[in-house]
């Protein structure tokens, strides 16, 4: 009928080999997943760096456009394009020229506050002075 095979004993080395093979397989799978995530992140970082560089370039262009539009020449051109100013109009801007001095201006000493002498302070504390203060300002 059916013959049964005799069971072979499993040694500790075989169990250790199976466990280490299983752990190695899990490690390889986890490592591959992390490597794939790192690759995706690096690609995402590269795309973001390109986007940031593009945004910086756009900002510089917009700032240049703002500076250009704040000029009188752009306003004049816009008015001319809108038909509000005729083409034969001549615009004259008078620019005054002030020559720079040949010599540098001399430095002046800044005034310093010196405390009043004790004798001068006593003059304003007299009874006559207080009477004048009451007369003029209405207080001491």
- Please tell me the distance from the alpha carbon of residue 110 to that of residue 113, in angstroms, as a whole number: 10
Count how many domains the chain has. 1
For residue 60, tell me if it sits in a domain: yes
Helix axes 72-81, 12-69, angle to 10 degrees: 80
Q: Note the pTM of the prediction, 2 decimals.
A: 0.42
**pLDDT for residue 65:** 92
**Going residue by residue through the chain (140 aa), what tens digit of pLDDT does each one get?**
567 777 888 899 999 999 999 999 999 999 999 999 999 999 999 999 999 999 999 999 999 999 998 888 888 888 888 877 776 766 656 667 676 666 665 666 666 666 555 556 666 677 777 888 888 887 65
- Please tell me the distance from the alpha carbon of residue 52 to that of residue 65, in angstroms, as a whole number: 20
Give 47's contacts (C-beta < 8 A, 6+ positions apart). Answer: none
**pLDDT for residue 131:** 82
- Please tell me the distance from the alpha carbon of residue 133 to that of residue 42, in angstroms, as a whole number: 83
Comparing CA positions, the residue from 97, 77, 101, 98 lying closest to residue 89 is 77
For residue 76, tell me if it sits in a domain: yes
For residue 2, tell me if it sits in a domain: no
Domain limits for position 84: 12-98
Comparing CA positions, the residue from 138, 32, 27 lying closest to residue 130 is 138
- Please tell me the distance from the alpha carbon of residue 50 to that of residue 99, in angstroms, as a whole number: 50
**pLDDT for residue 2:** 62
Q: How many CB atoms lie within 10 A of CB 85?
A: 15
For residue 66, tell me if it sits in a domain: yes
For residue 78, tell me if it sits in a domain: yes
For residue 127, tell me if it sits in a domain: no
């Amino acid at each position: 009928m059916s013959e049964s095979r005799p069971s072979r004993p499993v040694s500790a080395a075989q169990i250790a080999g199976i466990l280490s093979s299983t752990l190695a397989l899990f490690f390889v799978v986890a490592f591959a997943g992390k490597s794939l995530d790192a690759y995706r992140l690096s690609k995402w970082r590269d795309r973001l760096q390109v986007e940031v560089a593009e945004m910086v370039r756009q900002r510089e262009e917009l700032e240049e456009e703002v500076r250009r539009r704040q000029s009188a020449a752009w306003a004049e051109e816009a008015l001319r394009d809108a038909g509000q100013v005729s083409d034969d109009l001549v615009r004259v801007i008078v620019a005054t020229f002030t020559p720079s001095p040949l010599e540098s201006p001399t430095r002046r000493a800044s005034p310093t506050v010196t405390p009043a002498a004790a004798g001068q302070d006593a003059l304003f504390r007299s009874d006559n002075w207080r009477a004048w203060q009451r007369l003029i300002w209405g207080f001491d």
